[in-house]
Amino acid sequence: MDTDTPKKIRIGVLALQGDFEAHIKALADVGVEGIAVRLPKHLADLNGIILPGGESTAIGKLMKLYGLQEPLQQKIREGFPLWGTCAGLILLASETDNALAGQPLLASMHIRVRRNTFGSQRESFETDLSVPVLGETPFHAVFIRGPSIEEVGPQVEVLARLDDGTIVAVREGHLLGTAFHPELAQVAGHRDARFHDYFLRIVQSVKG
Active site residue 140: no
The answer to whether residue 87 forms part of the interface with ligand GLN (CB under 6 A) is yes
CA distance 143 to 123: 8
Q: Is 65 helix (H, G, I), strand (E, B) or coil?
A: helix
Q: Which of 15, 24, 46, 86 binds ligand GLN (CB under 6 A)?
A: 86
Least distance in Å: CB of 42 to ligand GLN? 21
Active site residue 181: yes
The answer to whether residue 98 forms part of the interface with ligand GLN (CB under 6 A) is no
Question: x/- string (CB under 6 A) for ligand GLN, residues 47-66?
Answer: ------xxxx----------
Contact between 15 and 34 (Cβ < 8 Å): no
Least distance in Å: CB of 193 to ligand GLN? 19
CA distance 37 to 94: 23
User: Sign of dihedral through CA atoms 67, 73, 77, 82?
Assistant: positive
The answer to whether residue 202 forms part of the interface with ligand GLN (CB under 6 A) is no
Active site residue 150: no
CA distance 168 to 179: 5
CA distance 2 to 166: 49
Q: Is 196 helix (H, G, I), strand (E, B) or coil?
A: helix
> Whose Cβ is closer to ligand GLN: residue 12's or residue 53's?
53
Least distance in Å: CB of 115 to ligand GLN? 4
Binding site for ligand GLN (CB under 6 A): 53-56, 86-87, 90, 115-116, 144-146
Q: Which residues are catalytic?
A: 86, 181, 183
